[in-house]
Amino acid sequence: MKVILIGRAAVGKTAILSRLITGDYFKDYFPTLGVDFMLKDYSKRAIYVHFFDFGGTSISNLLISPFLADTQLVLLVTDLFSVSEAVFFNNIIVQIQELNKEQVQFILIRNKIEIFPFTNNEIKCLKNFNQNKHIPIISVSAKTSENFTTLKREIFDKLALYSKKVYLAGAYFDCEMSALTDKYF
């Protein structure tokens, strides 16, 4: 399965990915140049999830990239949502949907909530952006790990649409297996 993280430079994509894969936060910031990827191997459960982290400075080249094809889930990452972010993400959503044969799932991640609390204007922009899309919006802090359990569950639910095998990986995503059994079997 393929998950990609897209957002502007310095919004915390790599920090979110690190927190998801290893549980760690690295305070030293090094910009991602081009694309980086991590693999979460659920070999005992026959599941492989590839996470692709696209550098914010590489976005213009990304939109024509073959890396976007065969994607199941896109994590749209921002730290402050605005009208320009809405336009930016709308363009990305359209292009990703055009490059993929199957329906792609999306999650909007609003990072750095410990630094930037939501404003009324930002909430209004988010509501307008998401009016007909119904994309889950999750606010997190990669630094403090706030709301990462919620994010993991949402990722799990989105990936579960593609394979029953992912249901078995619930332990990694901090989901209770009894709840998953009731929900998915």
Query: Which domains are delineated in the chain?
Result: 2-184 (3.40.50.300)
Q: Is pLDDT above 60 for 7?
A: yes
> 28: which residues sit within 8 A by CB, 6+ positions away?
none
pLDDT in tens, 60-116: 555 556 777 888 999 999 999 999 999 999 988 988 888 888 889 999 999 999 999
Distance between CA 59 and CA 112 in Å, rounded?
21
State both tokens at 125.
């922009």
What rounded mean pLDDT belongs to the chain?
A: 77
Segment 25-73, tens digit of pLDDT: 776 655 544 444 444 444 444 456 667 666 665 555 555 567 778 889 9
Task: Fill in the amino acid letter for 156.
Answer: F
Whole-model pTM: value is 0.79
